[in-house]
Amino acid sequence: MKSIISLMLLFTMIHQVNSQELPYYEIPENSESYTAGAVASRMIDGLGFRFYWASEGLTQKDLDFKPTPESRTSGETIDHILGLSQVILNTAENKPNGGKQPEMSFKEKRAKILNNLKKASDILKDKSDLSEFKIIFGDKKYPFWNAINGPIADALWHCGQIVSFRRSSGNPFPKGVSVFTGKVRK
């Protein structure tokens, strides 16, 4: 019995370590000042934290769930968030959009989304002027304002859908996660 408990504790610790390798287990410390870049970075950090926990522990049943035949599944919603995270990162890197994502497992998609968001946040964090950052689609360039009301807000919206869908498929949002503080109560 003692060895079973020890084994269970070991698996729990391994899971916690693996989970914490990805960014946004908790929201990073806030900036000291309220610059444009710090605020944009914090918005992206909030998105990363919400996505981390909305997608943590999803099962295949959760990924396949959709409330109506016309809806996207949670898995298809995550594919959409992946595309949005790429637009957010491309905006921070001033790169054009339009590239296609390779085939990936759910675990790989989740990691790529979280890492895309972290990279974008890190780029923007120390900037005082965001006018240099553009969303580029072909010949069209849009100001950073469109990143806020476009892919950032859209991805936040879709994180809420994943949370709702996972509740409906019988796998509610993990307890102890505070989206207000960006911390996890242990």
Q: Which residue has the higher pLDDT, 47 or 3?
A: 47
Nearest-angstrom CA–CA distance, 11 and 151: 37
Q: What is the pLDDT of residue 1?
A: 55
pLDDT in tens, 16-69: 445 459 999 999 999 999 999 999 999 999 999 999 999 999 999 999 999 999
Residues 43/148, Cβ–Cβ less than 8 Å: yes
Question: Which residues make Cβ contacts (< 8 Å) with residue 69, sequence separation at least 6?
Answer: none
- Tokens representing 6 are 């020890």
Q: Which residue has the higher pLDDT, 186 or 138?
A: 138
Q: How crowded is the C-beta side of 186, counted as CA atoms within 13 Å?
A: 3
Q: What is the DSSP letter of 66?
A: -
Sign of CA dihedral 185, 151, 38, 101: positive
pLDDT in tens, 64-115: 999 999 999 999 999 999 999 999 999 999 999 998 889 999 999 999 999 9
Could you tell me the pTM of the whole model?
0.88
Q: What is the pLDDT of residue 33?
A: 93
pLDDT in tens, 108-165: 999 999 999 999 999 999 999 999 999 999 999 999 999 999 999 999 999 999 999 9
